[in-house]
């Protein structure tokens, strides 16, 4: 009797470990569902929107200017941020705020990206903490699941700052 209970317990533990490994690999390498909070990406992404984030782009180095991504915060590594990529390595980007009279520019260093929220007046982004290492990118936002009336792909940047050239 004890042998049967131990055998079933070990069998269950084995299945739990297998499914845990499958779930981990799925969320790490394929994609995940995320809930965004905060005003920094409004009007594109509103508070508590549910998004699908695919992680294959990060591994295949197919992240482009204009993509909305989920990344680890450079200031708080236990927090994820949702921002739009404004510049890739080598791009010249404006580091000034929208209301600054004197515009400053810099180049994005190798292995980094420049991230900004669509709500420029209410976003803590690369203008505050500088270029973000590519390794902090978790994945690219594919489409919105919730709210249902907004289901589908995301719109382009409302402020047009993505159109900058090198």
For the chain, the first-to-last Cα distance in angstroms comes to 73
Q: Which residues contact residue 16 at a Cβ distance below 8 angstroms, ignoring those fewer than 6 apart?
A: none
Helices (H) and strands (E) in the chain, counts: 3, 9
Find the catalytic residue in 40, 57, 123, 126: 40
46 is annotated as an active-site residue:
no
Q: How many alpha carbons lie under 13 Å from residue 151 in its C-beta half-sphere?
A: 3
Residue pair 12/21 in contact by the 8 Å Cβ criterion: no
Find the catalytic residue in 9, 57, 76, 83: 83
57 is annotated as an active-site residue:
no
Residue pair 84/157 in contact by the 8 Å Cβ criterion: yes
Between the alpha carbon of residue 154 and those of residues 100, 117, 161, the distances in Å are 29, 14, 16
Handedness of CA 124, 128, 130, 136 (dihedral sign): negative
- Residues annotated as part of the active site: 40, 83
């Amino acid at each position: 009797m004890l042998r049967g209970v131990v055998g079933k317990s070990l069998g269950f533990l084995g299945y739990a470990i297998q499914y845990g490994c499958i779930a981990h690999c799925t969320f790490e390498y394929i994609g995940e569902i995320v809930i965004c909070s905060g005003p920094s990406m409004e009007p594109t992404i509103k508070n508590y929107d549910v998004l699908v984030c695919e992680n294959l782009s990060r591994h295949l180095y197919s992240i482009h200017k204009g993509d909305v991504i989920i990344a680890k915060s450079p200031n708080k590594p236990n927090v994820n941020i949702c921002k739009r990529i404004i510049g890739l390595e080598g791009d010249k980007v404006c580091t000034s705020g929208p209301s600054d009279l004197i515009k400053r520019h810099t180049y994005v260093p190798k292995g980094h990206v420049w991230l900004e929220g669509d709500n420029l007046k209410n976003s803590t982004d690369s203008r505050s903490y500088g270029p973000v290492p590519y390794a902090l990118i978790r994945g690219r936002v594919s489409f919105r699941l919730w709210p249902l009336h907004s289901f589908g792909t995301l719109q382009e940047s409302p402020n047009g700052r993505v159109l900058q050239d090198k």
